[in-house]
Amino acid sequence: MSEAVETPARKEVRETLIVSRRVREFPDDAHTFERATSDGAYEIWKEVLRRADVQWIHDEVKASGLRGRGGANFPTAIKWESLPDNGLPRHLVINGDEGEPSTFKDRLLIEGDPHALIEGVCIEAYRIGSHRAFIYLRGEFALGADRIEQAVHDARAAGYVGSNILGSGFDVEIVVHRGAGAYICGEESALIESLEGKRGMPRIKPPLPIHVGLYSEPTVVNNVETVCTIPHILKMGGAQYANLGVNRSTGTRLAAISGHVNNPGVYELEFGMTLRDIIFGIAGGIRGDKQLKFFLPGGASFQWLIASDEHLDQVYDIDDISAKLGTTLGSGAIMVYDEDTDPLLVAWRLAKFYAHESCGKCTPCREGSGWLEKVLYRMSHGQGRPNDMDALLDISAGISPDVMKAPFTQTTICPLGPSPVSAIASLQKYFRAEVEAACAAGVPA
Amino acid sequence: MFTEANKKRAVEIVAQYPKAHSAILPLAHLAQDQDGWLSLDAMDEIADYCDTTAADVQGVCSFYTMYKRRPCGNFVVSVCTNVTCLVVGGPEVLEHLEHKYANDNDVFVEEVECLAACGNAPSMQVNYEYHEHLTPESAEQVVEDYKAGRLVARGVSGGAVHA
Amino acid sequence: MTTTEPQSTKTTVSVTIDGNTVEAIPGEMLIKVAQENGVYIPRFCWHERMKPVGMCRMCLVEVDGIRGLPPACTMPVAEGMVCHTETPAVKQAQDDILEFLLVNHPLDCPVCDRGGECPLQDTTLAFGPGESRFVEEKRHFEKPIPISNVVLLDRERCIQCARCTRFADEIAGDPLISFVDRGGHTQVLNHPNHPFASYFSGNVVQICPVGALTAKPYRFRARPWDLATVETSCTQCSVQCRGALQSSSNRLVRLLGIDSNAVNHGWLCDKGRYGFEYVHSDDRIREPLLNGAIASWPQALDAAADALRSARDLHGAESIGFIGGARGTNEDAYAWSRLAKGVLGTDNVDAQLGDGLPAELILGVERASIAECDSAAAIVLLAPDLKEALPVLHLRLRRAALDLRVPLIDFSCAPHGLSSEVTHALAAAPGEQGARAEQLVAAVNGASSDGVIAAAAATMKARAGTIVVVLGRANLAERSDATVQAVAALAQLPNVKFLSALRRGNVHGALEAGLAPGILPGRVTIEYRDAVAAKWSAIPEAPGLDTEAMLRAALEGKIKALVLIGADPIADFPDRALAEAAVRAVPTVIAIDGFHNESTQRAKVVLPATMFGEKSGTITNLEGRIQRVNQKVSPDGLAMDDWRIASELAFRLGHDFDLETVDEVTNELVSVAPALAGGSAQLFRSARDGVRIPVAQHHAEVQLRKGLGLTLDGPDGVSWEPIKVEAEITVESVPENGNTQDAFALLRWDGGSVRVDLPGRDAYALRLIGSVSLYDHGSAVSESPSLVGLRTVPKLLVAAADLQRLGVPNGTEVHVASANGAFNIVVQAIKGLQPGVAQLAAGSGNAANALIDAAAVVNDVRVETIR
Ligand SMILES: Cc1cc2nc3c(=O)[nH]c(=O)nc-3n(C[C@H](O)[C@H](O)[C@H](O)COP(=O)(O)O)c2cc1C
Ligand code: SF4
Ligand code: FES
């Protein structure tokens, strides 16, 4: 939150390929068993089985400082440490639901390097003592599901997955489970409900999934990128990995850059570059010689930034950006908008997304998001009314009491409820005058 | 009703999970790929496999937008209009296809949320197969290619590619 | 946090709510702790009897040290917790939530059944904002749609609290409604192929906090402000759930469940909830009838008295029989008992219709309470399908098994409502319960055994606490002998108690009042005659006949006058052939009833009796709890209370009972009944949860209600919240008139020595189980418009393997025949039924009764295809 963070040293403007190296090097066939294994897939898994040392895995990952890449940034090794020892079976669930708007970095790994994911799953399952891992993919990832299923099949045929793996006595089965169109199933407890064959509605916490998860048993949920990183950490050593990045943002992360940039795409970035470096260096700047107007540095759910020096000079560091600018790096998506973009339209489309994806459990989220969407629709379609911006702020306050505060105050079960409020706060902060002008020009009903 | 082959498949799917209830989603995908949509009777059948009631299956499946509760033809065309596609032409692709296929019972055009293909926006899926970098015209061409068999479609739930 | 006391000795935690520090049980939800300490936190989704979901967010509060506003309904209290329910932030949140809830709510209050008693309305008044700022289009759905025969759903009014869906799933175990679609489009719905056909569907109407779910029977019948309410008990079955009975313009319009921890947790079954409709049926008997023609009360009473007198004078008292009495109050039963035994001198009296168990067994075993099941070491089911027979007891046991993890050990060989919750299924075939029970008891006592018996015995020994045997007549197609034998065995277990599952409304009150051969009021046998001697002039010398024996005597011409007290032996006695011939053979039948039935058609004199809601008194439930029923409307036509009819007959036979009010009857019953010693009409009236008998032993449990009336307003009094009756004083000691030394005289069942000799089974025969169904063809169902359409059409249920073996296609009509009768019926394969057995419901036309020979140890049937 507001801990002082050391100003990090500036990083070179270039990619650092670790988790995405194989797929970037062999874009056509990295997903095949032959290519992946000839490129070293499963070597670390074999090493793990040879050493048979759970503590080693734990220590390296802890030393690496790896934090979850799903958006909540929770240190992976600390999550493992919270597992209760209650004799119940433990489950490993991989979160491949990637549904946050403009987030498309896990898809690269799912479709492009399934064996890396499987290797990571095996090692993590070994670490936590789980014998059945579920890979939950968003339903729309049909190709991804095919590829992972094929990869599981090939890995099983080669003896890397299944029972008594390579004679070690260790068993792990991998079940690929497809969702069916519900963003909220990316939230870990909703994902678990969905895996249990229920409506994907988040659970009340506590208890956390790590204590009472799938089938009421202890469950580790990790993001695809997180899991894919684990073998690399073991290969290069946790300390070595921790040397990359800045402060507590160690290593690299996949950033999905989209919108009005010249070179949209997924890039593997070492933490520590500035946002300017990323947008103008890595992604090639704004296309068509336009000016940057605003951008969303961490997916759709958090506050926006604009083309100010303060914002562009901000370092890509999980804690620093939150302490200084009250927003986060979230899901790793960076959405960039040029000078011609109507921020009301973007805000409306986000509200529409959250209204569509609200699971419907909490009153403020279910009713508030729909209400915001209706008002924003009018505003962005030429029917704004003079006091609409204040109405938006009022409705937002009903969803998340301190609208302008970041991170938001939550009165709902999960953070989806207050997510559209980030867009309202951003409009108020940066575009109030523009919005008022638009509404004044609109046709009053 | 599941075909004999799918009945066998259904039993295998159920066996993957510690609890049969977990198989509701995969069985609904299976039924939809078989029938082109998820009928009330299919929910009844799934309820039997998963040890629950049809009301429960209906409640679960209706939560998920991929399950279609009325027939939607052979091709489900899902066009993204979320915040990246929004600013690079997604809505225009959607409007064009909706208009073009308004009376075509074989093509079901829907607006969807972000498909995780924003790097190459605007994007759409046809039976969950990606098509990216679209214009209204190229999008229409893609659909026509499927209709003419020049492109091979998956099942309407994105199930395994048809032979 | 520093605590001075060691954690282990303190069983409560200190919690500060709005500045007041209170003690609470750790883990209890804050909303409940606050409520128990006088702080009402508004809520919609939370219901005390269900698990919290935290959906509506109406109960947001502030808790020191916790960011944001957590919901009080999902916040377990912990030591030192400091919570605020009235801060500006909380008030603001309440305003906001209500405004959101009203965004899509139609505000059609003037035409809504809930109008005037709507929690959403009330909460908005108490906690809500002023005007809504919502100017957009609201969500639309088709207005009320039927989701079952009795429940309508208006999805526009729904506020998505999930109370109904959770009730259906968690409590009733009938997940036939669920949320459909998502987000702002979420609606509650059944699957179109399957209506919400739950025996408990009315509860969802009661707990819905808006008018989204309405009951067809009540719709537009009344506005809440026209309603008058009394507290009462349901008399449809022997659970006797607590209820609030409401009327408008002298018509009963609604029965709501009252939350009694001892009995029903606030739930009712639909038969109980809607069955009162029969009170106002057009078919009610409204005037006395003599030889089929309307007569005056004096004419009819004179004729009845004359018939009884002449039978006694010419053929002796044993030529008179009384059957029935389980539908009335304890006072009714007592008056009939005194008339039969104390005036006429006959002991041929039986409140059971050959479908129960011996009275001395039911009265003489150690009784368990319903609540004891919650903490039992194990529950043994030696009973019919409780979902059909005693629905709300079924809910209680389901909760015990599922939520409280009490093991269930089941003797049944047929599937039933609790089958999926059973821990050990002993699956005793008809007639084999006794042998099975003996094996089980031997295994508990250390004899070696294997398989399910050993496992069940191990389970019974593994947990501390009482073993509760739920004891009823599981099969009407076998004699009760095997059950008696099983009870004799199970009674040997340590810490065992029995919970009777006899189902007729007040059968236990009737037996306790002496409506059984050989029994006098107060759980004593006729040897213990001193207690009644002062009031009663005649007392039979020897035990008389039970219903079956009376019917056989009637066939032999030995019964000259038969009094049917709300009884229809032709339909209800398991052996229809016997009952029909016997009733025909009796020269004079006198019927006291509210409706005509097959047996009353034969009556010379028919006397119209008051029914539920038309009379007051006490009743006794299956755990021996005496509770009140109260009058709400004046009787229809010229109907009279049973106890008055009995007194009038006695007077005509030369005995003045000298009873003017129902309380006088209660007090006379108490004065002669040892088991009731220490009670009084006053005590029964004012004990909130009633009083269990023997009264003297249960005084310490009695809680006296604060007021005698029941008001249904105030935040925790409205119907959607568990309706609670406030109580305060605990009666510690036995009052002065407590006649405790009589306790020694109470009947103790000696265990008997029945052995069952089972005949062999031939390969083509199936052994019959005669079962009960909730929606039978009795008058409560047949004469209640809301229920009549739900009556079960009996089918012959057989295991699929047997159908295959017999070459009979599933679902076809077959010919079924026993030694006693034969007819055609549709056959259906069901899962979970033991092979070699066939199950058929009793109690209607082509039903088990027509096949059963009451004399047979077991009944076998043959099934043949029709060609
Ligand atoms: C509304 C919502 C959506 C989410 N979607 C995703 C997602 O698509 N993928 C993901 O990995 N995590 C997602 N998360 C985060 C997960 O709840 C969880 O924190 C994560 O999977 C944990 O894995 P990690 O520790 O490896 O990051 C989402 C969270 C919320 C509240
Ligand atoms: S905040 Fe929204 S999405 Fe999250 S649990 Fe509540 S209703 Fe569901
Ligand atoms: S009562 Fe607490 S959230 Fe509904």
The amino acid at residue C601 is: Q
C434 and C521 inside one domain: no
C-alpha C48 to ligand 3 mean position (Å): 11
pLDDT average, residue stretch C707-732: 66
Average pLDDT over residues C309-330: 97
Residue numbers in A near C53 (CB within 8 A): 204, 361
Predicted structure pTM score:
0.94
Interface contact B59-C179, CB threshold 8 A: yes
Give the number of whichever ligand sits closest to the CA of residue A184: 1
Q: Which residue has the higher pLDDT, C61 or A9?
A: C61
**Is B19 within a domain?**
yes
CA atoms within 13 A on the CB side of C184: 27
CATH of the domain at C55: 3.10.20.740
**In a shared domain, residues C710 and C591:** yes
What confidence tier does C739 reach under pLDDT thresholds 50, 70, 90? low
pLDDT for residue C845 is more than 80: no
Average pLDDT, chain C: 92
Q: What tens digit of pLDDT does each residue of B12-63 get? A: 999 999 999 999 999 999 999 999 999 999 999 999 999 999 999 999 999 9
Instruction: Please give, rounded to a whole number of angstroms, the shortest distance from the CA of A140 to a CA of chain B.
Output: 6
Query: Residue B116 and residue A349: Cβ atoms within 8 Å?
Result: no
Let me know if residue B45 belongs to a domain: yes
Are B81 and B138 part of one and the same domain? yes
C-alpha A344 to ligand 1 mean position (Å): 27
| Confidence (pLDDT) at A400 | 94
Give the residue among C238, C259, C351 at the shortest CA–CA distance from C621: C238
Q: Are residues B12 and B50 in the same domain?
A: yes
To the nearest whole angstrom, how far is the Cα of B123 from the nearest Cα of chain C?
25
Nearest chain A Cα distance for residue B25, angstroms: 6
Chain A hits for B21, Cβ within 8 Å: 196-198
Give the ligand 2 atom nearest the CA of A357: 3
Task: Tell me the HSE value of C63 on the side-chain side, using a 13 A CA sphere.
Answer: 22
Average pLDDT for chain A: 95
Q: Which atom of ligand 3 is nearest to the CA of C46?
A: 1
Best of A140, A201, A223, A337 to disrupt the B interface by mutation (most B CBs within 10 Å)? A140
**C481 shares its domain with C624:** no
Query: A230 near A121, Cβ under 8 Å?
Result: no
Q: Is B123 a residue whose pLDDT tops 60?
A: yes
pLDDT for the residue numbered A4: 47
Per the domain annotation, does C168 fall within a domain? Answer: no
Residue B66 located in a structural domain: no
Which pLDDT value is given to residue B161? Answer: 62
Ligand nearest to the CA of C73: 3
Q: Give the closest-approach CA distance of B112 to chain A in angstroms.
A: 9
Residues C14, C17, C22, C27, Cα dihedral to 10°: -50
| Cross-chain residue pair B83–A341, CB shorter than 8 Å | no
Q: Clarify whether residues B52 and B81 are in a common domain.
A: no
Is residue B79 located within the same domain as residue B143?
yes
Range in C233-242, C330-339, C671-680 the model is least confident about:
C671-680
Residue nearest to atom 6 of ligand 2 (CA): A362
Nearest CA in chain A to B17: A175
pLDDT for the residue numbered A152: 98
User: Could you tell me if C423 and C524 lie in one domain?
Assistant: no
Q: What is the pLDDT of residue C68?
A: 87
Beta bridge partners of A401: none
**Does residue C783 fall inside a structural domain?**
yes
In angstroms, rounded to a whole number, what is the distance separating the alpha carbons of residues A180 and C861?
52
Among A79-83, A220-224, C124-128, C361-365, which stretch is predicted with the lowest mean pLDDT? C124-128
CB interface of C with A, residues 91-120, below 8 Å: 92-93, 96-97, 99-101, 103-104
DSSP annotation string for C290-343 = ETTEE--HHHHHHHHHHHHHHHHHHH-GGGEEEEE-TTS-HHHHHHHHIIIIII
Please give the number of the atom of ligand 1 that sits closest to the Cα of A73: 27
Residue C118 lies in a domain: no
Specify the pLDDT at position C70: 94
Name subunits touching C (3+ CB pairs < 8 A): A, B
| Domain presence at residue B122 | yes
Does the residue B68 lie in any domain? no
Q: Inter-chain contact A215–B19, Cβ cutoff 8 Å?
A: yes
Chain A residues with CB under 8 Å of C134 CB are: 371
Residue B162 has pLDDT above 50, yes or no: no
Fold of A245-338: Ubiquitin-like (UB roll) (3.10.20)
φ/ψ (deg, to 5) at A162: 120, -145
In sequence order, the β-bridge partners of residue C689 are: none
DSSP string, B64-84: STTS-SS---SEEEEEE-STT
Q: What is the pLDDT of residues C201-216, one digit of tens each?
A: 999 999 999 989 999 8
Instruction: Give the distance from residue C444's alpha carbon to the nearest chain A alpha carbon, in angstroms.
Output: 30
DSSP class of A374: H
Chain A contact present for C456, CB below 8 A = no
Query: Alpha-carbon distance C605 to C612, whole Å?
Result: 22
Q: Above pLDDT 90, what percent of chain B?
A: 97
Asked if A143 has any chain B CB less than 8 Å from its own CB, the reply is: yes
Residue B153 has pLDDT above 60, yes or no: yes
Q: Coil, strand or helix: which one is C346?
A: coil
Q: Is the CB of C639 under 6 A from ligand 3?
A: no
Residues C525 and C656 in one domain: yes
CB contact under 8 A, C175 and B58: no
**pLDDT tens for each residue of C398-408:** 999 999 999 99
What CATH number labels A343-441? 1.20.1440.230
Task: Give the domain ranges of chain A.
Answer: 21-243, 245-338, 343-441
The answer to which of A78-82, C250-254, C411-415, C514-518 has the lowest mean pLDDT is C250-254
Residue C400 contacts residue C376 (beta carbons within 8 Å): yes
C496 & C511 share domain: no
Mean pLDDT calculated for residue range C486-495: 96
**Chain C, 656-675: which have a CB under 8 Å from a chain A CB?**
none
- Secondary structure of residue B59 in the 3-state scheme: helix
Domain count, chain B: 2
**CATH among 3.90.1300.10, 3.20.190.10, 3.40.50.11540, 3.40.190.10 for A21-243:** 3.40.50.11540
**What DSSP designation does B128 have?**
T
C715: Cβ contacts below 8 Å, ≥ 6 apart: C40, C42, C122, C126, C721
The 10s digit of each residue's pLDDT in C413-442 is 999 999 999 999 999 999 999 999 999 999
- Can you tell me the distance from the alpha carbon of C742 to that of C531, in angstroms, rounded to the nearest whole number? 9
- Assess whether B120 and B81 both reside in one domain: yes
Take atom 4 of ligand 2 and give the residue whose Cα is closest.
A414
- pLDDT computed for residue C447 by the predictor: 87
pLDDT at C732: 59
Nearest Cβ partner for A368 among C56, C100, C160: C100
Q: Is C703 on the interface with A (CB under 8 A)?
A: no
Quick one: C487 and C522 in the same domain? no
CATH number of the domain within which C682 lies? 3.40.50.740
- Note whether C191 contacts B63, CB cutoff 8 Å: no
Q: Do A407 and A422 meet the contact criterion of CB atoms below 8 Å apart?
A: no
Cβ(A307)–Cβ(A292) below 8 Å? yes
Q: Is the pLDDT of residue C730 over 80?
A: no
**What pLDDT is stored for residue A2 in this prediction?**
43
Residue B162 is assigned to a structural domain of this protein = no
Assess whether pLDDT exceeds 80 at residue C551: yes
Measured in Å, residue A330 CA sits from the centre of ligand 2 at: 18
> What does the alpha-carbon distance between residue B151 and residue B162 come to, in Å, rounded to a whole number?
11
**Partner-chain contact B59 C194, CB within 8 Å:** no
For residue C70, say if its preceding peptide bond is cis, omega within 30 degrees of 0: no
> Are B8 and B40 in the same domain?
yes
Q: What is the pLDDT of residue C714?
A: 43
Please report the pLDDT score of residue C30 as a whole number. Answer: 97
Domain that residue C492 falls in = 361-500
What is the tally of helices (H) and strands (E) in chain C? 25, 37
Shortest CA distance from B133: residue in chain A: A264
pLDDT at B163 over 60: no
Kindly tell me the sign of the dihedral angle through the C-alpha atoms of B85, B91, B96, B100.
positive
> Which residues of chain A fall short of a pLDDT of 70?
1-10, 442-445
Q: Do B86 and A349 touch (CB under 8 A)?
A: yes
pLDDT for the residue numbered C106: 83
Find chain B residues with C-beta within 8 A of A335's C-beta.
83-84, 118
pLDDT in tens, C771-788: 999 998 888 999 999 999
Cα–Cα dist A359/C273, whole Å: 35
CB of residue C75 inside a 6 A radius of ligand 3: no
For C778-799, b/e burial (b = at least 16 CB within 10 A) is: bbbbbbbebbbebbbebebbbb
